[in-house]
């Protein structure tokens, strides 16, 4: 199995590109949303470390935002709890698709949380800042303050670009991205 890790800036189109590959995708953001909606253990752990912000299930995005904006350290505490569970979900995903030729790992903090393996193929999704901002502003509940907090806990884009085996420039046009993904897939499968 070839593990392909998708890297890039917040809002650069990582998930969109990941889905174009046509192989099973582990989307960490989707898993986090499910945990907030359904996992009572997560609520219990968050309540224990941040009792002033979390009280009922499902966990509300507004409560998460309040906790993150209140204190710089709260984001790290939340990430630590969430990513332990996301790691378990990823391991289940990898077992489930172990017979597939390729799996795609769409995990925003892949390198930061040292989830990647040495043999992983890393692909950096590059997009213009103005395109990224346009893309982000279309998202429901976009908050520039939260965006900056997440940027602060991420490795630099230059570092991620240098670590990557391939770079896909995302101009946010489907046909162009499909062609670029196809070319990268051909290289990976050689």
Query: So what's the pLDDT on residue 129?
Result: 87
pLDDT for the residue numbered 135: 78
Q: What is the pLDDT of residue 34?
A: 92
What pLDDT shows up at residue 179? 96
Confidence (pLDDT) at 133: 81
**Cβ-based neighbour number of residue 108 at 10 Å:** 20
Q: Which domain holds residue 18?
A: 2-188
- Total tally of structural domains belonging to the chain: 1
Q: Which pLDDT score, from 0 to 100, does residue 183 have? A: 96
φ, ψ dihedrals at 76, nearest 5°: -60, -40
pLDDT of residue 24: 98
Q: What is the pLDDT of residue 120?
A: 95
Query: For every residue of 29-74, which 3-state class applies, written as one string?
Result: HHHHHHHHHHCHHHHHHHHHHCCCCCCCCCCCHHHHHHHHHHCHHH
Residue in the structure block whose two tokens are 């999704």 = 125
User: Residue 2: what pLDDT?
Assistant: 96
Per-residue pLDDT, 71: 85
CB atoms within 10 A of CB 162: 10
How high is the pLDDT of residue 177? 94
Length of the chain: 190
* Per-residue pLDDT, 123: 98
- C-alpha distances out from residue 71 to 61, 64, 65, 141, Å: 16, 11, 10, 20
Q: Cα-flanking dihedrals φ and ψ of residue 31, to 5°? A: -65, -40
**Rounded CA gap, 75 and 67, in Å?**
8
- CATH code: domain of residue 71: 3.40.50.300
Q: What is the full per-residue pLDDT of the chain (190 aa) written as tens digits? A: 999 999 999 889 999 999 999 999 999 999 998 999 888 899 999 999 999 999 888 898 888 889 988 887 998 899 889 988 999 999 999 999 999 999 999 998 888 888 889 999 999 999 998 888 887 877 777 777 777 777 777 889 999 999 999 999 999 889 999 999 999 999 999 8
Do residues 168 and 12 lie in contact, with contact meaning Cβ atoms separated by under 8 Å?
no
């Amino acid at each position: 199995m070839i593990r392909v890790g998708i890297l890039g800036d917040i809002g650069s189109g990582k998930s969109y590109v990941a889905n174009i590959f046509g192989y099973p995708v582990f989307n960490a953001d989707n898993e986090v949303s499910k945990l907030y909606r359904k996992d009572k253990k997560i609520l219990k752990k968050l309540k224990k470390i941040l009792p002033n912000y979390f009280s009922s299930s499902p966990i509300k995005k507004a409560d998460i935002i309040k906790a993150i904006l209140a204190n710089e350290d709260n984001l790290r505490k939340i990430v630590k709890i969430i990513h332990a569970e996301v790691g378990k979900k990823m391991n289940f995903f990898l077992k489930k698709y172990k017979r597939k030729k390729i799996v795609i790992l769409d995990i925003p903090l892949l390198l930061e949380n040292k989830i990647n393996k040495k043999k992983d193929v890393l692909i950096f999704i590059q997009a213009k800042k103005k395109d990224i901002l346009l893309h982000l502003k279309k998202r429901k509940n976009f908050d520039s303050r939260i965006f900056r907090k997440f940027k602060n806990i991420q490795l630099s884009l230059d570092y991620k670009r240098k670590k990557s085996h391939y770079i896909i420039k995302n101009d946010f046009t489907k046909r162009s991205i499909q062609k670029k993904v196809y070319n990268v897939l051909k290289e990976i499968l050689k």
